């Protein structure tokens, strides 16, 4: 289920990128630290605590479809849109709060447990903080991380059809690493097969 959830997010993101020009999101929304925000209806572990009447009012105000709210992730999305009063921040907050070591593992070509160990070794308690570290803060990498990323770039360069992997900036390099990761592709095919079986079962 965890792999299915992560792939659902990835597939939605890739589909939107391929079919639409990205809508401009205010920079302050992207820069905001959603992990340290003091939420009205979430505790420090992001557990939901909200009166049903308040929850229902958010569902109505923002025109959520009640029948599609059937998981913690769905309910979290409702609470976050209500918290910030707009869909963009609700979506960004949800993606960062639910970010997992599994997704980091797809970028870094390691297992989720190895990603967790790398994060904890550097003092990162939340998976997204580790992602910020290896994605945005190259200037803060320790020597071990520098060597790891050098080795990863070499691996990706050997597997990629692109000839300029060594010259790619960190954002484009990580996108390429994610796209061609053999484990991610394997998991994607499994998820796709599972979904096809579920659709055949419903018929």
Q: What's this model's pTM, rounded to 2 decimal places?
A: 0.83
Nearest to 149 by CA among 170, 132, 131: 170
Residue 42 bridge partners (DSSP): 48
Contacting residues for 93 by C-beta, under 8 A, at least 6 apart: 34, 37, 80, 83, 84
Tens place of pLDDT per residue across the chain (203 aa): 566 656 555 654 544 444 445 679 999 999 999 999 999 999 999 999 999 999 999 999 999 999 999 999 999 999 999 999 999 999 999 999 999 999 999 999 999 999 999 999 999 999 999 999 999 999 999 999 999 999 999 999 999 999 999 999 999 999 999 999 999 999 999 988 888 887 787 66
Residue 70 tokens read as: 């059937």
Tokens of 155: 């691996």
């Amino acid at each position: 289920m965890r792999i299915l959830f992560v792939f659902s997010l990835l597939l939605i993101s890739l589909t939107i990128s391929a079919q639409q020009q990205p809508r401009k999101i205010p920079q302050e929304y992207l820069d905001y630290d959603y992990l340290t925000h003091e939420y009205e209806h979430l505790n420090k572990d992001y557990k939901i605590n909200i009166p049903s009447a308040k929850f229902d009012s958010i569902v109505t105000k923002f025109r959520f479809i009640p029948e599609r709210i059937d998981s913690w992730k769905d309910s979290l999305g409702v609470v976050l849109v209500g918290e910030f009063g707009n869909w963009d921040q609700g979506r960004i907050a949800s993606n960062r709060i639910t970010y997992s070591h599994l997704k980091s593992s797809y970028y870094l070509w390691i297992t989720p447990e190895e990603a967790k160990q790398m994060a904890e070794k550097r003092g990162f308690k939340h998976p997204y903080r580790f992602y910020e570290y290896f994605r945005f803060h190259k200037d803060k990498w320790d020597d071990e991380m520098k060597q790891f990323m050098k080795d990863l770039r070499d691996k990706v360069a050997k597997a990629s059809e692109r000839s300029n992997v060594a010259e790619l900036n960190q954002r484009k390099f990580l996108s390429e690493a994610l796209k061609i990761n053999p484990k991610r592709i394997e998991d994607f095919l499994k998820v796709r097969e599972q979904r096809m079986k579920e659709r055949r079962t419903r018929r």
